[in-house]
């Protein structure tokens, strides 16, 4: 029996490819998209760590139906928002604010104290006739109709337009309009204008939007010029601040407590600031109907602005589902609010409060990162876990055209995690068999034959797809090629191993094939899974041994003479048109028979 070391058996490993499915190759700490048999291609690189899922408890959201009558764009949107904020509004007095502010402006960290506007100082909420804090009209009382007293209602007593303030800061601000949009840092005067500070500039902007919408009938108007009469500004600055400083929990809570009888039984108003609840409305109401924003993920947006990317990873063993960092892109220069929501088993690190997540400020195209993944708490064993994260452009304009502003389609991030068990390669279909004796049919000396042997991938639970490799080949002399399955084998399926053999010795042929099996290497946690051993036997016949005694000699020549037929044209081996001695010589020359 010839061994591999003699070089009489030539080993070749053909078409060894380990790519399967459309999940991610996990190798050397990186993930690369592969595509073979699955229908959905995946992309992305798992990030270090997991998804830090925020608390999305929407404690301060508007009640269902509060904005049901809101519709349209521009002036119609402004009118319907104003109507929503007016319907059922219980007017409170300027004097009420002395005792209501501890409800509205409560310091969330220190009971009994309130947070002041502009400097955000925490002080006692007790009213002491204005020594510790007094009442600041965000829209100065001198720039609106009427004069104020403790009995004043309407806009002069509306808590959405009032804030507690340090008396000296209130005096310093006076009746200055707010500006400028690009100012940053602490509060203070900017010439004839006043900057409310980075922590309050968005709050102030939305208070101004509220006043000019809810009390539009009173003549309150926002302007970009230095204001006169009942005007207030600057509108451009307020719009910039609206996108730079989004509603935080303090502002959202304040808006809700002013509205809510349950949270504020003595001074509730049953009305809300729509620009806190619906920040995406501001552009349409106070700029134009041509917001050019477009959000997208993945390779780029479709004509309607929508986009998508699919992220997935497959793992064997106890893996925490990995996180993916996805770039959210903003085209256009106009400011835009957006909402990020999750469904199914997917989660993201983006909060969703009062229906919005964040905003892109006015300016050049930009981007930011969203971290997404599968919620680890739902992974309780092998299986497929999937869901999606959706980004919604909240702008309400429609005039720019398809794929922009309010016409921008949703952007969907598909996420899946396949938790798999080890692969099971087998030489039998029903149970794992790792050794097999194969009795092949009769082979002919010098002719190449293919012996096909099925390799099965057992389907038990959620197994990974196995791949096979050639690790050992030995046996009888001859030329042997082993053609492996070209891909990993899908669980429940099979693929043929092909042994190509060209025998160069008559007699019994024996070939030993050893296959290595492993999990599909595109899977996290893939490992070697043992070997499969094949013993292939087959008889080899030499066609010159006409009498079948195992030797080619003169006896075979005699046998030839017996079987050749003088009347058979195929017996004319010399091709001279006659059956004679020359045909015998032709046989001898062709077959190389030695006389015996």
pLDDT level of residue 521 (50, 70, 90 thresholds)? very high
Calculate the alpha carbon distances from 325 to 50, 88, 345 in Å.
10, 45, 17
For the chain, the 3-state helix, strand and coil shares in percent, each to the nearest 5, are 20, 30, 50
What is the rounded CA–CA span in Å between residue 575 and residue 587? Answer: 12
Please enumerate in sequence order all residues whose Cβ is within 8 A of that of 437, keeping only pairs 6 or more positions apart, or say none. 535, 537
What is the rounded CA–CA span in Å between residue 524 and residue 497? Answer: 26
CB atoms within 10 A of CB 71: 12
Report the percent of the chain where pLDDT is more than 70: 85
Tokens representing residue 213 in the block: 């919408």
The number of C-alpha atoms within 13 Å of 308 and in the hemisphere containing its C-beta is 9
Give residue-wise pLDDT tens across range 158-175. Answer: 999 999 999 999 999 999
Tell me the backbone φ, ψ of residue 276, rounded to 5 degrees: -85, -45
Tokens representing residue 580 in the block: 């004679």
Span 26-55, average pLDDT: 50
Q: What residues does 221 pair with on adjacent strands?
A: 231
pLDDT level of residue 586 (50, 70, 90 thresholds)? confident
Q: What is the pLDDT of residue 568?
A: 63
Contacts 24+ apart (CB under 8 A), 121-127: 121/166, 125/101, 126/102, 127/98, 127/99, 127/101
Computed on alpha carbons and rounded to an integer, the radius of gyration of the chain in Å comes to 41
Nearest to 537 by CA among 512, 517, 562: 512
Q: Is the dihedral of CA 514, 520, 522, 526 positive or negative?
A: negative
Q: What is the pLDDT of residue 85?
A: 98
Q: What is the pLDDT of residue 318?
A: 83
CB atoms within 10 A of CB 396: 23
Q: What is the pLDDT of residue 18?
A: 26
Length reported for the chain: 596
What is the rounded CA–CA span in Å between residue 389 and residue 288? Answer: 30
CB 496 within 8 A of CB 484: no
283: buried, middle or exposed (CB in 10 Å: 19+, 13-18, 0-12)?
buried
What is the rounded CA–CA span in Å between residue 318 and residue 422? Answer: 12
Give residue-wise pLDDT tens across range 283-338. Answer: 999 999 999 999 999 999 999 999 999 999 999 988 889 999 999 999 999 999 99
Tell me the backbone φ, ψ of residue 570, rounded to 5 degrees: -75, -10
Please enumerate in sequence order all residues whose Cβ is within 8 A of that of 22, keeping only pairs 6 or more positions apart, or say none. 33, 34, 35, 36, 37, 38, 39, 40, 41, 42, 312
Is the per-residue pLDDT at 454 higher than 80? yes
Q: What residues does 382 pair with on adjacent strands?
A: none
Cα torsion at 277, 64, 372, 299 (round to 10°)? Answer: -70
What is the rounded CA–CA span in Å between residue 362 and residue 370? Answer: 20
The helix (H) or strand (E) run that includes residue 514 is strand 507-519
What is the rounded CA–CA span in Å between residue 383 and residue 470? Answer: 31
Span 219-244, average pLDDT: 98
Q: What is the pLDDT of residue 575?
A: 75
Please report the domains of the chain, with CATH numbers, ordered by start residue: 4-19+424-541 (2.60.40.10), 43-54+290-420 (2.60.40.10), 74-286 (no CATH), 554-591 (no CATH)
The helix (H) or strand (E) run that includes residue 535 is strand 528-541
Mean pLDDT of the chain: 88
Pairing of strands 323-331, 294-296: antiparallel
CB 350 within 8 A of CB 370: yes
For residue 191, cis peptide bond before it (omega within 30 degrees of 0): no
Pairing of strands 478-483, 494-503: antiparallel
What is the rounded CA–CA span in Å between residue 561 and residue 569? Answer: 15
Q: What is the pLDDT of residue 505?
A: 87
Nearest to 196 by CA among 121, 122, 362, 204: 204
Q: What residues does 231 pair with on adjacent strands?
A: 221
What is the rounded CA–CA span in Å between residue 347 and residue 468? Answer: 36
Tokens representing residue 180 in the block: 């400028």
Please enumerate in sequence order all residues whose Cβ is within 8 A of that of 287, keeping only pairs 6 or more positions apart, or say none. 239, 334
| DSSP states along 361-419 | PSSS-EEEEEEEEE-GGG--SSEEEEEEEEEEE-----TT-TTSGGGPPPEEEEEEEEE
Q: What is the pLDDT of residue 262?
A: 96
CB 229 within 8 A of CB 223: no
CB 438 within 8 A of CB 534: yes
Strands (E), 204-322: 221-222, 231-232, 294-296, 307-316
Least confident of 67-81, 218-232, 483-497, 559-573: 559-573
Which range has the top average pLDDT, 405-419, 499-513, 554-568?
405-419
């Amino acid at each position: 029996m010839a061994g591999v070391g003699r070089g009489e058996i030539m080993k070749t490993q053909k078409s060894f490819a380990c790519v399967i499915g459309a999940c991610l190759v996990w190798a050397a700490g990186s993930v690369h998209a592969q595509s073979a048999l699955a229908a959905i291609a995946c992309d992305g690189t798992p990030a270090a760590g997991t998804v830090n899922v925020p608390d999305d408890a929407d404690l301060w959201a508007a009640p269902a139906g509060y904005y049901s009558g809101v519709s349209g764009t521009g002036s119609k949107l402004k009118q319907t928002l104003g109507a929503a904020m007016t319907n059922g509004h219980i007017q409170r007095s300027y004097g009420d604010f002395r005792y209501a502010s501890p409800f509205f402006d409560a310091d969330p960290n220190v009971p009994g104290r309130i947070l002041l506007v502009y400097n955000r100082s925490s002080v006692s909420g007790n009213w002491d006739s204005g020594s510790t804090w007094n009442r600041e009209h965000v829209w100065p009382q001198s720039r609106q109709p009427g004069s104020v007293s403790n009995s004043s209602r309407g806009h002069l007593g509306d808590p959405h337009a009032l804030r507690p303030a340090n008396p000296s800061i209130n005096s310093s601000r006076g009746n200055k309009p707010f500006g400028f949009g690009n100012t940053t840092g602490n509060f203070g005067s900017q010439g004839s204008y006043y900057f409310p500070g980075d922590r309050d500039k968005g709050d102030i902007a939305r208070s101004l939007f509220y006043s000019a919408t809810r009390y539009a009938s009173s003549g309150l108007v926002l302007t970009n010029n230095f204001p006169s009469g009942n005007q207030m500004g600057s509108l451009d600055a307020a719009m910039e601040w609206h996108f730079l400083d989004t509603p935080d929990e303090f502002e959202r809570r304040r808006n809700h407590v002013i509205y809510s009888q349950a949270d504020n039984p003595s001074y509730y108003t049953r009305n809300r600031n729509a620009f806190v609840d619906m920040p995406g409305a501001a552009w349409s109401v106070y700029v134009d109907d041509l917001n050019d924003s477009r959000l997208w993920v993945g390779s780029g947006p479709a004509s309607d602005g929508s986009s998508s990317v699919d992220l997935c990873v497959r793992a064997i063993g106890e893996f925490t589902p990995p996180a993916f960092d996805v770039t959210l892109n903003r085209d256009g220069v106009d400011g835009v609010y957006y909402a990020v929501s999750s469904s199914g088993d997917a989660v993201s690190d983006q909060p969703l409060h009062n229906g919005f997540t964040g905003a892109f400020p006015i300016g050049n195209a930009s981007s930011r990162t969203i971290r997404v993944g599968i919620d680890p708490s739902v992974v309780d064993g092998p299986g497929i876990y999937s869901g999606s994260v959706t980004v919604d452009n909240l702008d309400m304009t429609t005039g720019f055209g398809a794929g922009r502003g309010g016409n921008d389609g949703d952007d969907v991030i598909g996420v899946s995690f396949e938790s798999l068990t080890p692969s099971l390669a087998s030489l039998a279909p029903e149970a794992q068999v790792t050794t097999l004796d194969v009795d092949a049919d009769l082979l002919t000396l010098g002719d190449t034959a293919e012996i096909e042997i099925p390799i099965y991938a057992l389907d038990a639970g959620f197994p990974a797809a196995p791949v096979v490799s050639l690790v050992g080949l030995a046996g009888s002399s001859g030329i042997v090629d082993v053609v492996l399955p070209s891909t990993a084998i899908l669980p429940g399926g099979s693929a043929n191993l092909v042994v190509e053999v060209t025998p160069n010795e008559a007699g019994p042929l024996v070939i030993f094939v050893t296959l290595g099996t492993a999990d599909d290497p595109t899977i996290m946690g893939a490992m070697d899974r043992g070997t499969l051993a094949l013993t292939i036997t087959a008889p080899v016949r030499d066609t010159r041994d006409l009498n079948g005694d195992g030797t080619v000699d003169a006896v075979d020549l005699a046998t030839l003479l017996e079987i050749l037929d003088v009347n058979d044209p195929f017996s004319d081996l010399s091709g001279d048109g006659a059956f004679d001695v020359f045909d015998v010589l032709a046989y001898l020359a062709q077959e190389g028979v030695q006389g015996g």
